[in-house]
Structure 1
Amino acid sequence: MKILIINPGSTSTKVGIYEDLEEKIIENITIDADVLKQYKGLYDQTDMRLKQVYDFLDKNSISPSEIDVIVSRGGMLPPVHTGAYVIDDELCDIARNHPAQLHASNLGALVAREISKKNDIPAYIYDAVSVDELTDLSRLSGVKKYPRRSFSHALNTRAVAMRYCEENGLDYKNSSIIVAHLGGGISLNIQKNGHLIDITSSDEGPFSTNRAGFIPIYSCINIVKEEGGDALQKYEDSVGGLVSHLGTNDAREVEKMIANGDENAKHVYEAMAYQISKSIGALSVVENGKIDAILLTGGMSHSKMLTDWIIERVSFIAPVKLYPGEFEMKALAAGGYRIMKGQEKADKLRL
């Protein structure tokens, strides 16, 4: 089975070919900032992203007629469940005209749909960013009009949870697992019986390399008064976290600073580990502490210093396992494979 994977990011489009579950070709096609400036809106990039995928296929001598299924990263759609949705005209209309938030990942379904229609190939999204399976208790915030939102690294975190269960003889559909994705943004979730029943999103939890995470509400009010709403947005998106404290978004540079005796750098880095650990502890009470495993994934889980601090604080709750890096491309391929084999079913997204 030949599977085409499409995974758009803000400054690149990652494209891959899998045969069954075996990776054959992966390419991360970068987009220059000057090129991006030419497009007034996000969706104006659709044709450019589509050409990137066709050029990838041409360069690797792959005809669209050879493709059995297309799987795209799911974007910031209205709330969806875990698993697959059919990419059809209705889903694309929702992604374009009714997204929960603008994000480059929204383009994936639009590109996949064009290739799908022209070549009569089934196409799906899988584990979209907006997977929302929060329980009624976990959804409430302190303001009735603004309930908690469910945005997390669902694709990568579900993939590592399923992998852990397979490796350790557990039934994923009968397990309780906490997963922390440690990347440019940090999100955590608790997966019970295959569903993400509660999450800690990147704006309500630990600070990361360049995101502020949770900021006390009165501090937010002061930031808006003194610096404006755009400044608050930037702290949450790009200039918070390690950037704000230490002037770098590279955890490896922070570790070099620590190795050179910088006590402030150590203090900040350990505070990040402390906040991650505290968020893991908070999620553990969702299941009264009955947790089968705690998994750390994402780019920063390569850091032994950071993960050792976390393990020291949370290992009393459950076994801790590291899955450094991200596995989005393989997770998308595996989702498409299971659908085509009849092991999972894809729904149709309707408003």
Structure 2
Amino acid sequence: MAKTVLVINSGSSSIKYQLVDLESGEGLASGLVEKIGEPSDGHYKHEFNGEKHELEEPIPDHEVGLKRVLGFFEEYGPSLKNSGIVAVGHRVVQGGSVFPKPALVTDKTIAQVKNLAVLAPLHNGPEATGAEVMRALLPDTPQVFVFDSSFFFQLPKYASTYALNKEIADQYHIRRYGAHGTSHEYVGSQVPDLIGKPAEGLKQIVLHIGNGASASAQISGKPVETSMGLTPLEGLVMGGRTGDIDPAVVFHLIRNAHMSVDELDTLFNKHSGLMGMTGHGDMREIHKMIAAGDENAKLALDVYVHRIVGYIGNYAAQMGGVDVITFTAGVGENDEIVRRMVAHKLSPFGVKLDEKKNDTRSKEPRIISEPDSKITLCIIPTNEELSIARQSATIADQGDSYGNTFTK
């Protein structure tokens, strides 16, 4: 019988899920639960075997939503009872300094994940709740937390440390934790096979650019830098986030616009970035606006690319060179215009883009640079679900590094 893992990503008002076949790496079934706890009807979507099943009804909380999801598996397939499920993997954004590696879901680890919500208020609370609910619904199946920040826990101290007063930084656990680590680790691990070079000594930059966006620098598969920091706000320009910005902007707006902390949080995290500059957070809309002659959209795209290229230059210098740059996530995988703009900015350094390959749509990992390019350019579709599934299966079988083992 095939072995599978159910991967769950619980948000404040939504749940994404996928049943992953560990052997083939394929997603056997997937779905989405939206508008949890909202006054209007919630929305379910379950996809299996090429068929899509949808339902709208009130969804008061995560427990109701997840119960319905388990019902969909039995009603529409594939039945979890007959799918060889070995674990349920829960994606968690912030593990802080508490969880450098994945952890079995226990009463203690649930409480710890909830406590870390101060570092990721929109994510950790719902993710802990999702694990609590699934643990009660599937008590005979191991539940595992896999943390987005774990991969970057390996950052050198000079890269993870802010030049902030040490006592304050230590007291409030302020350091650079990074995010999207599961994606960066997965994509980075696929690069050596794609380009036919050993992982040892390979200097690479991974650009995870979607609505959320981050960059990482890796040597021999280990992270040496990343763009996100204490929270996912730092770094590249994003759909709704500012990315890097002078912190004194906060003081300026408090003193002159009389904005509250919550108003500033919303402004920086949701109403800035592409959204703040153009009214749209989706890069596809930005391109349409540029085609129609919108100068604000053109400037937004230029700022977006400028920031990416700046990070590439920084990381190339920090690593003493770069062998490969890989694009992934929604924009990275699907936006040939952004990739072309980045590549052309790097042409003085011997980067040569194969225009035809760049313009060809595909879901396959591929090289898009010319054979004589000084730096290899790649596209590798991210697969966070597969990475979470594999890590969860290992922990379910062997226990975690904190001394927890699963017993029925």
What's the TM-score, normalizing by structure 1?
0.84
1:138 corresponding residue in structure 2: 159
Matches within 5 A, 1:1-351: 1-20=3-22, 21-31=25-35, 34-35=38-39, 45-59=61-75, 60=77, 62-64=79-81, 66-79=84-97, 84-99=102-117, 100-112=119-131, 114-116=133-135, 118-129=138-149, 131-144=152-165, 145-146=168-169, 147-172=174-199, 174-201=201-228, 202-227=232-257, 228=259, 229-289=261-321, 291-301=322-332, 302-314=334-346, 316=349, 318-323=375-380, 326-337=382-393, 346-348=400-402
Deviations 1:193-248 (A, max 9, x none): 33333211143322222111112233232122233133321222100012221111
Contact 1:49-1:111 within 8 A present in 2 as well: no
Q: Secondary structure at the match of 1:270?
A: helix
* 2:254 aligned partner, one-letter code: V
How far, CA to CA, are the matches of 1:82 and 1:192 in structure 2?
19
- The alignment's C-alpha RMSD in Å is 3.1
1:229-282 alpha-carbon deviations (Å, 9 max, x no partner): 333212221000122211111211110111122233212211210111101221
User: What is the Cα deviation at residue 127 of structure 1?
Assistant: 4.1
1:134 deviates by: 2.1
Q: CA deviation at 1:9?
A: 2.7
What CA distance in whole angstroms lies between the structure 2 residues aligned with 1:22 and 1:61? 14
Q: Which amino acid aligns with 1:304?
A: E
SS at match of 2:153: coil
Q: Would you say the 8 A contact 2:214–2:226 is kept in 1?
A: yes
Closer/same/farther in 2, CA of residues 232 and 142 from structure 1, 3 Å limit? same
Structure-2 separation of matches of 1:172 and 1:286: 18
Does the aligned pair in 2 maintain the 1:176–1:292 contact within 8 Å? yes
Structure 1 runs not aligned, ≥5 long = 39-43
Q: Name the CA shift for 1:173/1:72 in 2 (closer, same or farther; >3 Å).
A: farther
Q: For the residues of structure 2 that align with 1:80 and 1:219, how far apart are their CA atoms?
A: 31
Q: Which whole-Å CA distance do the structure 1 matches of 2:251 and 2:403 have between them?
A: 37
Q: Which amino acid aligns with 1:101?
A: A
Q: 1:197 to 1:339 in 2, by over 3 A?
A: same
The equivalent residue for 1:41 is none
SS of the residue aligned with 1:196?
Answer: strand
Deviation by residue 1:284-324 (Cα, 9 ceiling, x = unmatched):
222122x2311121212222111211122246373221235
Paired amino acid for 2:21: E
Q: TM-score, normalising length from structure 2?
A: 0.73
Tell me the equivalent position of 2:53: none
In 2, Cα distance between equivalents of 1:9 and 1:240: 21
Determine what percentage of the aligned residue pairs are the same residue. Answer: 21
What are the Cα deviations for residues 153-176 of structure 1, in whole angstroms up to 9, with x where unaligned?
Answer: 111121111122232334446533
Deviations along 1:44-81, one digit per CA (max 9) or x if unpaired, are 94534542443343332524574222212123222266
The aligned amino acid for 2:73 is L
What is the identity, as a one-letter code, of the residue corresponding to 2:315?
Answer: L
CA contact (8 A) 2:210 2:238 kept: yes
Q: Which has the higher contact order (CA 8 A, sep 6+)?
A: 1
Instruction: Go from structure 1 to structure 2 and tell me whether the alpha carbon gap of 1:115 and 1:172 turns closer, same or farther (over 3 Å shift).
Output: farther
